[in-house]
A and B are shown apart, each in its own frame.
Chain A
Amino acid sequence: MRATAGLALALVATLAACATPGRDAARPSSASADPYPSTYRAYPGVPTALVGATVYDGAGGRIDNGTVLIADGEVVAVGGPELPIPAGYTRIDAAGKFVTPGVIDIHSHLGDYPTPSVQAHEDGNEMTAPITPEVWVEHSVWPQDPGFTRALANGGVTTLQILPGSANLMGGRTVTLKNVPGRTVQQMKFPGAPYGFKMACGENPKRVYGGQGRAPSTRMGNFAVNRQAWLDARKYAKGNRDERDLGKETLAGVLDGEILVHNHCYRADEMALVLDMAKEMGYRVTAFHHAVEAYKIADLLREADVCSAVWADWYGFKMEAYDGIPENAALLHNAGACVVIHSDDENGIQRLNQDAAKAQAAGRRMGIAIPDAEVIGWFTLNAARAMGIADVTGSLEPGKMADVVLWNGDPLSVYSRPEKVWIDGALMFDALDPKRRPVSDFELGQPGEGDVK
């Protein structure tokens, strides 16, 4: 409890201090206000030593026969067999097993498109106007989505960003969650995580609104509508911010650098145009999501310091995905650009590690060798960086949140599964203990309850 609250404060301070270029410090930013604050507190844990495992720290490091110490919700130490285990630690023999940071999915619709996938649950796209920066996805998230439990048990997911859908050019604010069950979404909100802002390029917005006979109906329409929205936002941001405007407050937060842009964008040429639009309007793109053609402009993306959040090998499902190739992630990595493996899928989120392994293998077959320890970073630290939470999670470093997965084998092998998952040092899943397996309200008393999933 103490540790988490402290980290949250530290994170807010960090953001205020360094992530806000050009912001007028004297002016209170309405974007940083959080009227629906996180009430998450770490659940109780015991000081634990994971001993003898292959440890991937998420930051590119690998320790064979390693030891990881966690206590009071934090990573205490990571080292080799020489690392002393203090008194009072529960010792877990992890020989032959692997330890990684908790898996992070930067792109999920758990909660806003929950299962059962019935029409009444379609809460991810406010499909009534192409520009809806005023909506916050946390107001749609259903904490009882059974998908959260599968992501934990099968995927080792400890943190995830929920985004609005891609029907709109500006879809609204994202929310970053700890993957802990909660009665309320506030109980899941990642303390201190910056908000993200969902934008979408290409086919979806022009199809949805063009189909209604309104703008945008073309890609040039997409840009026109976006640019005008930015111009209006700039005017607001420079004017009287006390006059509240939900949409403009969010856009001003983006212009201030407090809210991170996550831009759904498949095609290379469109990503390049978006980068110029961001320059023109004075904001920054943090990550392109579903960037299936990122490999074509890996150099531009490296120079712009933009992450590409990608699937391993999805292709062909829509026109703008026709040029998807399995080597995308490896080519990006090889060019020095930032790679994040994402899911955008309630099933894929259960196997982000497997997607990363496939992407790594595709690279190796074309002569790009990427060490396992770096590949682990694709679904841990790189995701944390692009979500603005790398100071507190995403890697196994002393002082960071004890978000940890113990895998029963190599996490880049199809034959491995999470055996135990800790979130802030609390054991939230244990494959060996049915009592450490969450069951959502929805499944209680129904055929799916309590089964190994």
Chain B
Amino acid sequence: MRRAALLAAALSAWLVTPVAAQDFAIVGATVALGDGSEPIENGTVLVRDGRIAAAGAGVPIPAGIETIDGRGRWVTPGLFASLTDLGLWDVEAVEESNDTAADKSPFGAALDVTPAINPQSEHVKVSRAGGVTRASVAGFPGGSIFAGQGALIDLGADRDAVMQPRAFQFVTLAEQGGAIAGGSRVAAHALFRNALREAKSFDERGALAARRAGTRGDMPLDLRPIDPRMTGSTADRGDDVLLTRFDAAALIPVVNGDQPLYVEAHRASDILAVLALRDEFPQLKLVLVGATEGWLVAQEIAAARVPVITEPLVDLPARFEQLGSTQSNVGRMVDAGVKVAIGGFAGDNQPRYAPQQAGNLVALNRLPGATGLTWGEAFAAISSVPAEIAGLGGTLGVLRPGAHGDVVLWDGDPLELSSAPVRVFIDGVEQPLDSHQSRLRERYRTPQEGALPKAYD
């Protein structure tokens, strides 16, 4: 009954107008705030007007509000999945359904993933059913070391997935970057520097700088005119340029520090080379992606105050740039003071696995010689920390008054293998958890046909 109603609600949300957020209180549950603290038993989460009104122990419940029995269950903020391919493919290996990489495009930095994101993809639905309510989305480097501009999305069952387009630029200076740039890391670094200098020069020559006034400061993130590509500037460019005008314009907010630059690097020396970029381009707002050998240079990363997005269970030397791989990478970086999010969800490594990965880091803490995370740290690595790295600290990935009403009710410890979301809310709106998968499950509950073929079930 409830499922049918939800489906109907979801459908109407897609077709007509957003469903109104509901006010509710979840009571008697184990509450994980997402901020790194340990879970609170017998806690309450209060959501009003689509926002968190209160969360924790001893929260008074307003009269007349809908209450949800949370006894025996857990409540957390919605998971924030860092650096995903959500909404970019239907079937990964079916090329025409896959928008993750533009190998044959003449563009790189100018690529903007926003118009390709499909909120109705099964990938989004399955992730939502796994408790993921927000994500950053980016393409992969294809024809250029610059993958282009990523977006921040919500996973709500409605038309408006993108919260913030062009939220960051993504570039690879890993082994792959060398291969794309012409066959070596040297080429990748030359190409990178040249690109930023072209952007800077373009900015100085054109009227773009003026347009940038107002891009910083208090404007809401999703209103910032961070996209100078379409300005139609007639400014000249030097005649020895390598980048297209479109690409050069796209890198202006990067070189000016208005738009974070996510840089993939794995080898310790490659990480140091990335950190050193700020000697030449002091405004860069760097985020390291991958950082497989980050633990070998954790002090340097911490001192540079550069956050990291990484796959935590990588422990094999899959590439020579990953010889030092270990599952203790995250724990050692965190201990050194680095802000680390679990992420890099692409292909088979899907956002719904984030809790399992976080749980493994908790298990690691019990092994002598290994370094994992506490439960609170591990959960933060899939909720508040990725939100902070995305520039949304305090408003997402955390149950704090004023934060978005993204709430997940779980049937047990969310990091445990046996647990799953029971109800998911985004901005206070309850979400459908159905998908192609759940329909197949019901159709084949018994494999044999009934009076008619399965197609009639």
B450 interface residue, CB < 8 Å from A? no
The chain A residue sitting closest to B412, CB to CB, is A361
Q: How far is the CB of B209 from chain A (nearest CB, A)?
A: 45
Bound-state Cα–Cα, A321 to B316, Å: 26
> By the criterion CB–CB under 8 Å, are B447 and A298 in contact?
yes
B370 interface residue, CB < 8 Å from A? yes
When distances are taken between beta carbons in the complex, the residues of chain B under 8 Å from A351 are 360
The chain B residue sitting closest to A354, CB to CB, is B417
> CB < 8 Å: which of A116, A297, A323, A452 contacts B317?
A116
| Chain A 112-125: CB-based contact to B (< 8 A → 1; otherwise 0) | 00011110000000
When distances are taken between beta carbons in the complex, the residues of chain A under 8 Å from B318 are 115-117, 346
The chain A residue sitting closest to B314, CB to CB, is A347
The chain B residue sitting closest to A365, CB to CB, is B420
A261-296 with Cβ < 8 A to chain B: 295-296
> CB < 8 Å: which of B328, B360, B363 contacts A452?
B328
> By the criterion CB–CB under 8 Å, are B367 and A314 in contact?
no
The chain B residue sitting closest to A317, CB to CB, is B92
> By the criterion CB–CB under 8 Å, are A414 and B362 in contact?
yes
Bound-state Cα–Cα, A347 to B359, Å: 16
The chain B residue sitting closest to A315, CB to CB, is B437
| Chain B 340-383: CB-based contact to A (< 8 A → 1; otherwise 0) | 00000001100000001001101110111110000000000000
Report the count of interface residues on A (CB-CB < 8 A): 61
The chain B residue sitting closest to A298, CB to CB, is B447
The verdict on A451 contacting B417 (CB below 8 Å), with A115-B317, A295-B444, A325-B440 known, is no
Bound-state Cα–Cα, A224 to B267, Å: 48
When distances are taken between beta carbons in the complex, the residues of chain A under 8 Å from B448 are 299
Bound-state Cα–Cα, A92 to B366, Å: 19
When distances are taken between beta carbons in the complex, the residues of chain B under 8 Å from A314 are 348
| Chain A 359-382: CB-based contact to B (< 8 A → 1; otherwise 0) | 011001110000000000000000
The verdict on A434 contacting B369 (CB below 8 Å), with A116-B319, A295-B447, A323-B440 known, is yes
Bound-state Cα–Cα, A364 to B418, Å: 9
When distances are taken between beta carbons in the complex, the residues of chain B under 8 Å from A412 are 417-418
> CB < 8 Å: which of B315, B323, B347, B437 contacts A447?
B323
When distances are taken between beta carbons in the complex, the residues of chain A under 8 Å from B445 are 331, 366
> CB < 8 Å: which of A322, A325, A414, A453 contacts B441?
A325
B400 interface residue, CB < 8 Å from A? no
B104-129 with Cβ < 8 A to chain A: 122-123, 126
Q: How far is the CB of B311 from chain A (nearest CB, A)?
A: 9
> By the criterion CB–CB under 8 Å, are A416 and B444 in contact?
no
When distances are taken between beta carbons in the complex, the residues of chain B under 8 Å from A116 are 317-320, 322
A196 interface residue, CB < 8 Å from B? no
> By the criterion CB–CB under 8 Å, are B359 and A414 in contact?
yes
A45-96 with Cβ < 8 A to chain B: none
| Chain B 304-334: CB-based contact to A (< 8 A → 1; otherwise 0) | 0000000001111111101111111000000
B273 interface residue, CB < 8 Å from A? no
B91 interface residue, CB < 8 Å from A? yes
A303-349 with Cβ < 8 A to chain B: 314-319, 321-327, 331, 335, 346-347
The chain A residue sitting closest to B357, CB to CB, is A414
A413 interface residue, CB < 8 Å from B? yes
> CB < 8 Å: which of A316, A361, A414 contacts B420?
A361
Bound-state Cα–Cα, A335 to B445, Å: 10
When distances are taken between beta carbons in the complex, the residues of chain B under 8 Å from A150 are 315-316
Q: How far is the CB of B301 from chain A (nearest CB, A)?
A: 16
Bound-state Cα–Cα, A418 to B445, Å: 35
A417 interface residue, CB < 8 Å from B? yes
| Chain B 418-441: CB-based contact to A (< 8 A → 1; otherwise 0) | 111000000000000000110011
When distances are taken between beta carbons in the complex, the residues of chain A under 8 Å from B411 are 365
Bound-state Cα–Cα, A440 to B126, Å: 39
The chain A residue sitting closest to B268, CB to CB, is A447
When distances are taken between beta carbons in the complex, the residues of chain A under 8 Å from B122 are 316
Q: Which of B315, B324, B367, B416 has the most CB of A within 10 A?
A: B315
When distances are taken between beta carbons in the complex, the residues of chain B under 8 Å from A331 are 441, 444-445, 447
> By the criterion CB–CB under 8 Å, are A414 and B363 in contact?
yes
> By the criterion CB–CB under 8 Å, are A448 and B420 in contact?
no
Q: How far is the CB of B388 from chain A (nearest CB, A)?
A: 25
Bound-state Cα–Cα, A295 to B123, Å: 21
Bound-state Cα–Cα, A224 to B457, Å: 34
> By the criterion CB–CB under 8 Å, are A415 and B317 in contact?
no
B293 interface residue, CB < 8 Å from A? yes
B94 interface residue, CB < 8 Å from A? yes
The chain A residue sitting closest to B316, CB to CB, is A115
A161 interface residue, CB < 8 Å from B? no
A181 interface residue, CB < 8 Å from B? no
Bound-state Cα–Cα, A225 to B288, Å: 49
Bound-state Cα–Cα, A115 to B319, Å: 7
> CB < 8 Å: which of A318, A357, A366, A432 contacts B418?
A357
| Chain A 429-449: CB-based contact to B (< 8 A → 1; otherwise 0) | 001101000000011001110
When distances are taken between beta carbons in the complex, the residues of chain A under 8 Å from B327 are 154, 452-453
Q: How far is the CB of A300 from chain B (nearest CB, A)?
A: 8
B274 interface residue, CB < 8 Å from A? no
B415 interface residue, CB < 8 Å from A? yes
Bound-state Cα–Cα, A453 to B320, Å: 17
Bound-state Cα–Cα, A118 to B440, Å: 39
> By the criterion CB–CB under 8 Å, are A414 and B417 in contact?
yes
A172 interface residue, CB < 8 Å from B? no
Q: How far is the CB of A265 from chain B (nearest CB, A)?
A: 17
| Chain B 369-413: CB-based contact to A (< 8 A → 1; otherwise 0) | 110000000000000000000000000000000000000000100
When distances are taken between beta carbons in the complex, the residues of chain B under 8 Å from A393 are none
B296 interface residue, CB < 8 Å from A? yes
Q: How far is the CB of A7 from chain B (nearest CB, A)?
A: 32
B93 interface residue, CB < 8 Å from A? yes
> By the criterion CB–CB under 8 Å, are B316 and A415 in contact?
no
> By the criterion CB–CB under 8 Å, are A335 and B325 in contact?
no
The chain A residue sitting closest to B417, CB to CB, is A357
> By the criterion CB–CB under 8 Å, are A316 and B91 in contact?
yes
> CB < 8 Å: which of A347, A350, A361 contacts B417?
A361
When distances are taken between beta carbons in the complex, the residues of chain B under 8 Å from A206 are none
The chain A residue sitting closest to B415, CB to CB, is A414
The verdict on A319 contacting B94 (CB below 8 Å), with A116-B317, A335-B447 known, is yes
A198 interface residue, CB < 8 Å from B? no
A147 interface residue, CB < 8 Å from B? yes
When distances are taken between beta carbons in the complex, the residues of chain B under 8 Å from A416 are 363
> By the criterion CB–CB under 8 Å, are A452 and B326 in contact?
yes
Bound-state Cα–Cα, A147 to B314, Å: 12
Bound-state Cα–Cα, A168 to B302, Å: 49
Bound-state Cα–Cα, A431 to B367, Å: 7
Q: How far is the CB of A368 from chain B (nearest CB, A)?
A: 9
> By the criterion CB–CB under 8 Å, are A316 and B417 in contact?
no
> By the criterion CB–CB under 8 Å, are A443 and B317 in contact?
yes
Q: Which of A326, A409, A415 has the most CB of B within 10 A?
A: A415
When distances are taken between beta carbons in the complex, the residues of chain B under 8 Å from A325 are 437, 440-441
A146 interface residue, CB < 8 Å from B? yes
Q: Which of B318, B347, B362, B444 has the most CB of A within 10 A?
A: B444
A108 interface residue, CB < 8 Å from B? no
When distances are taken between beta carbons in the complex, the residues of chain A under 8 Å from B123 are 316
Bound-state Cα–Cα, A350 to B360, Å: 11
Please, could you name 15 A-B residue pairs with CB atoms under 8 Å apart, sorted by A?
A115-B316, A116-B317, A118-B320, A318-B94, A331-B445, A331-B447, A346-B316, A347-B315, A347-B316, A361-B417, A413-B417, A414-B359, A414-B416, A415-B362, A415-B416
Known pairs A146-B316, A347-B314, A361-B419; list 4 more (Cβ under 8 Å). Answer: A118-B319, A295-B444, A299-B447, A361-B420
Q: What is the interface of chain A, defined by CB distance below 8 A to chain B?
A: 115-118, 146-147, 150, 154, 203, 295-300, 314-319, 321-327, 331, 335, 346-347, 350-351, 354, 357-358, 360-361, 364-366, 408-409, 412-417, 431-432, 434, 442-443, 446-448, 451-453
Q: What is the interface of chain B, defined by CB distance below 8 A to chain A?
A: 89-94, 122-123, 126, 268, 293, 296, 313-320, 322-328, 347-348, 356, 359-360, 362-364, 366-370, 411, 415-420, 436-437, 440-441, 444-445, 447-448
Complex A-B, nearest 4 residue pairs according to Cβ-Cβ distance, in ascending order: A414-B359, A447-B324, A318-B93, A357-B417
